[in-house]
Amino acid sequence: MCTAAVMPGANRPVELQRFSAPELEPGGVLLETVFSEVCGTDVHLSHGRLAGVPYPIIPGHVSVGRVVDVRGEPHDVDGRPVRVGAMVTFLDVVGTCNACWFCLVAKMPNRCPSRRVYGVTYSANEGLYGGWSQLIYLKPGVSILELPATLTPERVIAGGCALPTAIHAVDTARIRLGDRVLVQGAGPVGLSAAVLALLSGAGAVYIVERHEVRLAMAREFGVDEAIRLDSSGSNGHVERVLALTEGRGVDVTIEATGVPEAVKDGIHMTRDGGRYVIVGHYTDHGEVGINPHTEINRKHLEIRGVWGVDFSHFHRMLRILDRHGAKVAGGRGWEHMVSRTYGLDEVNQALSDVETGRIVKGLIRPTAP
Amino acid sequence: MCTAAVMPGANRPVELQRFSAPELEPGGVLLETVFSEVCGTDVHLSHGRLAGVPYPIIPGHVSVGRVVDVRGEPHDVDGRPVRVGAMVTFLDVVGTCNACWFCLVAKMPNRCPSRRVYGVTYSANEGLYGGWSQLIYLKPGVSILELPATLTPERVIAGGCALPTAIHAVDTARIRLGDRVLVQGAGPVGLSAAVLALLSGAGAVYIVERHEVRLAMAREFGVDEAIRLDSSGSNGHVERVLALTEGRGVDVTIEATGVPEAVKDGIHMTRDGGRYVIVGHYTDHGEVGINPHTEINRKHLEIRGVWGVDFSHFHRMLRILDRHGAKVAGGRGWEHMVSRTYGLDEVNQALSDVETGRIVKGLIRPTAP
Amino acid sequence: MCTAAVMPGANRPVELQRFSAPELEPGGVLLETVFSEVCGTDVHLSHGRLAGVPYPIIPGHVSVGRVVDVRGEPHDVDGRPVRVGAMVTFLDVVGTCNACWFCLVAKMPNRCPSRRVYGVTYSANEGLYGGWSQLIYLKPGVSILELPATLTPERVIAGGCALPTAIHAVDTARIRLGDRVLVQGAGPVGLSAAVLALLSGAGAVYIVERHEVRLAMAREFGVDEAIRLDSSGSNGHVERVLALTEGRGVDVTIEATGVPEAVKDGIHMTRDGGRYVIVGHYTDHGEVGINPHTEINRKHLEIRGVWGVDFSHFHRMLRILDRHGAKVAGGRGWEHMVSRTYGLDEVNQALSDVETGRIVKGLIRPTAP
Amino acid sequence: MCTAAVMPGANRPVELQRFSAPELEPGGVLLETVFSEVCGTDVHLSHGRLAGVPYPIIPGHVSVGRVVDVRGEPHDVDGRPVRVGAMVTFLDVVGTCNACWFCLVAKMPNRCPSRRVYGVTYSANEGLYGGWSQLIYLKPGVSILELPATLTPERVIAGGCALPTAIHAVDTARIRLGDRVLVQGAGPVGLSAAVLALLSGAGAVYIVERHEVRLAMAREFGVDEAIRLDSSGSNGHVERVLALTEGRGVDVTIEATGVPEAVKDGIHMTRDGGRYVIVGHYTDHGEVGINPHTEINRKHLEIRGVWGVDFSHFHRMLRILDRHGAKVAGGRGWEHMVSRTYGLDEVNQALSDVETGRIVKGLIRPTAP
């Protein structure tokens, strides 16, 4: 038996429930959860903003755990066996079919209709498919990665679901050495993107954000300038970015806010011939007015939407954390992005703290006493 | 002495004036105009919709002419001398500085602030710098191309200013063999883009347009389906394109309308992971509401603005016309795109015909009796 | 019971054997073979030039057949059921694991070590996994495509294994409208690449080849010039290509010969800053001397190796054949590439004809009376 | 009057000569040289290995100097005037025509036949067009960059001609966060490329080199492993790189040796589907045997030659040095790459020291007492 936090439906508080440990299928793996996390998507889930979610669910998509049981001979991507006792993480997406038009022709497994997502599209009635639980059942075929001895669970979960997403965005942005980069929004995805831009040798990295706690953390992670969003209508933040870039705007902007108006703003702060990457709009917050002449055609602009991740981003997350994770934030390490760790009985508080911007990133430790 | 058509200012009729032939500088070339054209930009100029135009001007940017005088030893891009009697065309842009940030660092000579445009940013008071004139003065440094013997002036001017722009758009769209392509708008740029998509081996080419005369011409040029724009609000054209593409939308859409709402429409008709190229917005017609979640981020869409051309596109125009220009439109040739040819005394009529969509493409023949 | 042609080992004649029809697994499909083909790889197989081939084998990788039995509910890539009576083709590669480093991280399923290839890496002792057989067993998971009503089996098998490979090469070559393209070798892959280059709107397509029968066919398919390989040491073919391109060389060269010296030759015929794609070296024919200074560095050259195909290329083959297959070769259609069709009892003759260059492409019709 | 070091011809010692200060043309600038450098190209020049060099020449292509005279109103790329007293550097290439096929169609100004190179293709009889001189004459049109106050002449010349070349190579290599990178050769270009790879967030950077002094310096600049070239034929360095990369090879290799055999070696150390960039072959050292099957086609490899630089690389050099130049080599700064500074009377020693690998990078200080 184990305890899990269950989100019963939209706008209803999360409750603790007891579950039996699952019967493992051949190739299945059972984890004792060490850390899961609470992210912006969890807030959206708590308000019913995503379509097709089979409530009740156990939230928590990216997690780190210790293997407590295996059946058969599951292997990782490098062909090494997954053994009891190993500390692992796993891609939260399962069931990519490798047989449909999205998987095989468009080569967008991130849009495969068969894929299911731990913590989002599995019902709690189906089993332990979310990280806000003392046990997680990894079905056969889940892509598992064992943590190298040099990486702690804390550092990996600090990367969490935001870091692979940010890797995908930064790859798409094609930052070159010396490029000036603007990130809009200093939540986990935006902050991760800003740190990755710094690690990519950007000439300068600016961040625009409205919450003070996030601006402060962006500074601690070394951005060149953390600019408070001016929502007075006078657009002081836009003027500041233009002043920092000879009036031209930055070479690359990465949007990570989810606020439609940010797209219009961000385009103004990007130079002619620059690149604008939208990675923050995972839910629908409506439209923004865009002028195709002044904002796209005459600017000769490239705009790219980035949806989700595939396993390659997740795989590179570990390599990037192993390489760079210790030195960021002035040596405090990637785990400095974590504001607070919550027990299973505190998840409602965690959701509220993320929603109001009181924290940057919150962890869930299901086995906390 | 020669006659030229002069646009005196916004919303004032074009008038004929007499000019003296210019004194040639070393490297300068004088052309007797064989054909110039009237395009959508000329309509915008006649209404004062472009900023910074030094009225009075002689309109007419792309032209074909016969060399009647040279001074010094001007050469073409392959180092061959430009001789009296040769039939030539020239890139309408002059003065790209090759010394500024746009030219040297951003590598966007199409945005160089020093560049000036024949027929647009030269005043008639400065000289014969437009094609609606019996003579055109090519300043030293203008990029000149001699027509190969296999290309008639009619075929080259039928490409005109629209074809290099369409080449730039189609290059940016990266059409692959078998891709399904949608073009929005069947004016000269849209129609040229559609023909280029056909020539690129597209799997299907659809065009959406509101004027019947243009739909008919698109069919004559061989598009798979010319779809009438449904402006009733029921969006029949969107439904039709989705029905033609298993509900997914096309792989590539090229926007060539200048209508902001077309951008929203066009994105709906483009598949997830597709490419959307905006080349029609050369003037400001306001904003359109875009939903960053449903229309960019979740679609994993690539959007590209394409501004102007450089000499490489103009150079390839001749090669493309020479290769493919005879066989298009069922063997009627690229010149089938021309609806009517006007004398200098008919240019006001030509502007009106373009504006109201009564014609697809109109030529100006300044030496007509 | 059915008859199949079995290659018992290296340098031993192919023999006919009788096999029982297989027991279908759930998701399995049984085909009655309409056409298979004989290609250069089959010649290499007959001489034991590929490593790890589990002789005896039933050769024949790409095939077209009619469904005579199904078990369970196999579906195609668009989710449509595969039904008895349907005319289908299938990707010859099966078992791509979608779980290893090649599949998930490098995104090169064409290099997945788990993949097996019909007609190459299955033993005849395992079952009917090759096209030189009256029946072919499609294991669960094989990617099946139903032929549209507009495509005949003859036209599809004329594309065969060469066309998807050529699609991959031409995609990699990034041919633009007006580019001049050279193809080295007019076997099925080279000839397919040349036709695809023509369909892509190339400015000119040249082919260099030593066999007259192939040069003649290249001309029938419309290449601008089919140049006989000058193996006298005086390199007349190189001089000819340079003469056709102002001494600069072509924009793009696609190598499809398998002869190491062709690589050196081909680089000389490619312009500075051009692209050179190697797709012809599927077996080891030794080294060629390359000068990194004159042939790569100073030329600012891009060289790309292209290995195999994935399902996207196979999927696009049908779309390309459906679109363009009827009009090529002056309206004779893609099937004009077929020189001769052989019965199962003539496969040794077929292998000999391919090896000696007497034919361009040979089909196998296993059900021939 | 001023003193310059003149290379009279191949294999003859450099001699000091006295020159008159030039008469400035409008737009011309006169520099008092602060630093120039001696690089591998200068060694090649001293042996007559480059074609078309108009001996006698004043060597020294990249230099830093103080403006001592201007005529007219020369401006930098951002439109700011060049004033007496300013500390500047300049792109060593002048006369790119912006009118030929290379400049306008192929967009390879790095291959423009009109371009001339300071220190290489100007004769000493024409004037002060090399950095091994107390004065340098910058002709009108030379692209000049003023050093920001935060950059010392020492740091900029430590970048010198190698750093823009390395920027071009690293751009072409498209290093992504976490990629493992191998650099072959630890001369100034290779060492610069290795440092740029580190700054780009590579997952690991390895260098292979034969000189101990360069291996030691590579370690001081922080490469993960500096591997001694094993020229015994047992290829210990290849085995070491494969052992570091699970037997697969690195994601990206940059060749900076000029030794043909290094290309073969380097390909073996690069993974399937990886990228191989050749930037070290600026002179002809003959051929190497390459197997197109095993080394290019089956590896699905991308090989790119990188020739020279354009102004954009030079412009970014200053931004990169300003951003990252202080922190490299454990805080010793980019100038740590300089092994020794020579006076004009020591240039023959400098050439010998570079040729024998006794130093990594040598400076020339023409105004040394």
How many CB atoms are closer than 10 A to CB D117?
Answer: 18
Sign of CA dihedral D332, D338, D339, D344: negative
The CA distance from A354 to A361, in Å, is 7
Q: Lowest mean pLDDT of A171-180, C15-24, D89-98, name the range.
A: D89-98
Quote the mean pLDDT of chain C: 95
- Tell which C residues from 219 to 248 touch A, by Cβ distance under 8 Å: none
Q: Are C4 and C119 in contact (CB under 8 A)?
A: no
Q: Which among C21, C30, C27, C33 is positioned nearest to C344, based on CA atoms?
A: C33
Instruction: Answer whether residue C369 shows pLDDT above 80.
Output: no
Which residue do the tokens 């080849």 mark?
C209
Residues (pLDDT < 50) of chain B are none
Residues of A in contact with B287 (CB under 8 A): 289-291
- Least CB-CB distance to C312: which of A98, A105, A316? A105
Residues 6 or more apart from B66 whose CB is under 8 A from it? B31, B32, B34, B85, B86, B87, B88
**Backbone phi, psi, residue A206, to 5°:** -110, 150
The CA distance from D240 to A9, in Å, is 56
Tokens at B244, concatenated: 């033609």
Cis peptide before A369 (omega within 30 of 0): no
- Tell which D residues from 281 to 320 touch C, by Cβ distance under 8 Å: 281-294, 296-307
Residues 6 or more apart from C233 whose CB is under 8 A from it? none
**Backbone phi, psi, residue D47, to 5°:** -105, 5
Instruction: Answer whether residue D369 shows pLDDT above 60.
Output: no
**Residue to substitute from C174, C177, C324, interface B, most B β-carbons within 10 A:** C177
Beta strands of A39-86 (E only): which ranges?
A: 64-70
- What is the per-residue pLDDT for C368? 60
Residues of D in contact with B105 (CB under 8 A): 77, 311-312, 315-316
Q: Do D316 and A199 touch (CB under 8 A)?
A: no
Q: Do D100 and B107 touch (CB under 8 A)?
A: no
Residue C232: burial class (beta carbons within 10 Å; 0-12, 13-18, 19+): exposed
Residues of A in contact with C101 (CB under 8 A): 77-78
Q: CA-CA distances (angstroms) from residue A72 to A29, A75, A83, C367?
A: 9, 10, 11, 45
User: What does the DSSP assignment read for C58-74?
Assistant: ----S-EEEEEEE-S--
One-letter identity of residue A205: V
Q: Which CATH superfamily is domain C2-146+333-364 in?
A: Medium-chain alcohol dehydrogenases, catalytic domain (3.90.180.10)
Q: Are A130 and A7 in contact (CB under 8 A)?
A: no
Give the relative orientation of helices B236-244 and B260-268 as an angle to the nearest 10 degrees: 30
Strands laid side by side in the D204-209 sheet: C225-228, C204-209, C180-184, C250-255, C270-278, C302-305, D302-305, D270-278, D250-255, D180-184, D204-209, D225-228
Closest D-chain CA to A203: D323
Closest C-chain CA to A144: C99
> What is the CA angle B241-B244-B250, rounded to 5?
60
Q: Lowest mean pLDDT of A343-357, D11-25, D106-120, name the range.
A: D106-120
CA distance C278 to chain D (A): 6
In a 13 Å sphere around the CA of A51, the CA atoms on its Cβ side amount to 4
Q: Are A194 and A266 in contact (CB under 8 A)?
A: no
Q: Are B157 and B35 in contact (CB under 8 A)?
A: yes
- For D97-121, how does the pLDDT look when each residue is reduced to its tens digit (9 = 90+)? 888 999 999 998 888 889 999 999 9
- For A302-313, how does the pLDDT look when each residue is reduced to its tens digit (9 = 90+)? 999 999 899 999
Tokens at B335, concatenated: 């010149």
Instruction: Answer whether residue D192 shows pLDDT above 70.
Output: yes
CA distance B100 to chain A (A): 13
Maximum pairwise Cα distance, chain A? 63
CA distance D71 to chain C (A): 37
- Least CB-CB distance to D178: which of A177, A201, A319? A319
The CA distance from C252 to C267, in Å, is 10
CATH 3.90.180.10 domain locations along chain D: 2-146+333-364
**A311-337: average pLDDT:** 96
How many CB atoms are closer than 10 A to CB D319?
Answer: 18
The CA distance from C205 to C256, in Å, is 14
* Beta pairing, strands D204-209 & D225-228: parallel
For the domain spanning A163-305, the CATH number is 3.40.50.720
- What is the per-residue pLDDT for C342? 97
Q: Are D15 and D6 in contact (CB under 8 A)?
A: yes
The CA distance from C63 to C55, in Å, is 20
The per-residue b/e assignment along B208-238, b for 16 or more CB within 10 angstroms, e otherwise, is bbbbeebbebbebbebbbbbebbeeeebebb
- For D69-91, how does the pLDDT look when each residue is reduced to its tens digit (9 = 90+)? 999 999 988 889 999 999 999 99
Residues 6 or more apart from D9 whose CB is under 8 A from it? D48, D55, D56
The CA distance from B185 to B169, in Å, is 14
The CA distance from B93 to B117, in Å, is 5
- Least CB-CB distance to D199: which of A167, A177, A323? A177
**Residue to substitute from A177, A254, A312, interface D, most D β-carbons within 10 A:** A177
Residue A368 banded pLDDT, cuts 50, 70, 90: low
The CA distance from C304 to C267, in Å, is 12
- What is the per-residue pLDDT for C229? 96
CATH 3.40.50.720 domain locations along chain D: 163-305
Beta strands of chain D (E only): which ranges?
A: 2-6, 15-19, 29-38, 64-70, 87-90, 93-94, 116-117, 135-138, 144-146, 180-184, 204-209, 225-228, 250-255, 270-278, 288-290, 302-305, 338-342, 361-364
Q: Do A286 and B291 touch (CB under 8 A)?
A: yes
Instruction: Answer whether residue C284 shows pLDDT above 60.
Output: yes
Q: Report helix, strand or coil for B113.
A: coil
Q: Are A119 and A125 in contact (CB under 8 A)?
A: no
For chain C, list the contacting chains (3+ Cβ pairs, <8 Å).
A, B, D
CA distance C203 to chain B (A): 6
DSSP 3-state helix, strand, coil percentages of chain C (rounded to 5)? Answer: 30, 25, 45
Q: Are D140 and D74 in contact (CB under 8 A)?
A: yes
Tokens at D367, concatenated: 């105004």
Q: Name beta bridge partners: B340.
A: B362
- Residues found in chain C: 369
Beta strands of D218-330 (E only): which ranges?
A: 225-228, 250-255, 270-278, 288-290, 302-305
- Least CB-CB distance to D107: which of B78, B96, B312? B312
- For C230-269, how does the pLDDT look when each residue is reduced to its tens digit (9 = 90+)? 888 889 999 999 999 999 999 999 999 999 999 999 999 9
Rounded (10°) CA dihedral B235, B238, B243, B249: -160
The CA distance from C68 to C82, in Å, is 11
Q: Name beta bridge partners: B205.
A: B181
Strands laid side by side in the A270-278 sheet: A225-228, A204-209, A180-184, A250-255, A270-278, A302-305, B302-305, B270-278, B250-255, B180-184, B204-209, B225-228
How far from chain centre, in Å, is Cα C168? 10
The CA distance from C83 to C70, in Å, is 7
**Backbone phi, psi, residue A207, to 5°:** -130, 140
- Tell which A residues from 79 to 138 touch D, by Cβ distance under 8 Å: none
**A331 in contact with D, Cβ within 8 Å:** no
Q: Do C298 and D305 touch (CB under 8 A)?
A: yes
Sign of CA dihedral C316, C320, C325, C328: negative
Which residue do the tokens 């061989």 mark?
B222
- What is the per-residue pLDDT for C222? 98
* Beta pairing, strands A29-38 & A361-364: antiparallel
For chain A, list the contacting chains (3+ Cβ pairs, <8 Å).
B, C, D
Q: Do C281 and D293 touch (CB under 8 A)?
A: yes
Residues 6 or more apart from A23 whose CB is under 8 A from it? none
Instruction: Answer whether residue C110 shows pLDDT above 90.
Output: no
Residues of B in contact with A279 (CB under 8 A): 297
Closest A-chain CA to D224: A323
How many CB atoms are closer than 10 A to CB B23?
Answer: 9
Residues of A in contact with C312 (CB under 8 A): 104-107
Q: Are A29 and A136 in contact (CB under 8 A)?
A: no
Rounded (10°) CA dihedral D82, D87, D93, D96: -20
Q: Do C178 and B203 touch (CB under 8 A)?
A: no
- What is the per-residue pLDDT for B234? 85
- For A51-61, how does the pLDDT look when each residue is reduced to its tens digit (9 = 90+)? 889 999 999 99
- What is the per-residue pLDDT for A152? 97
One-letter identity of residue A292: P
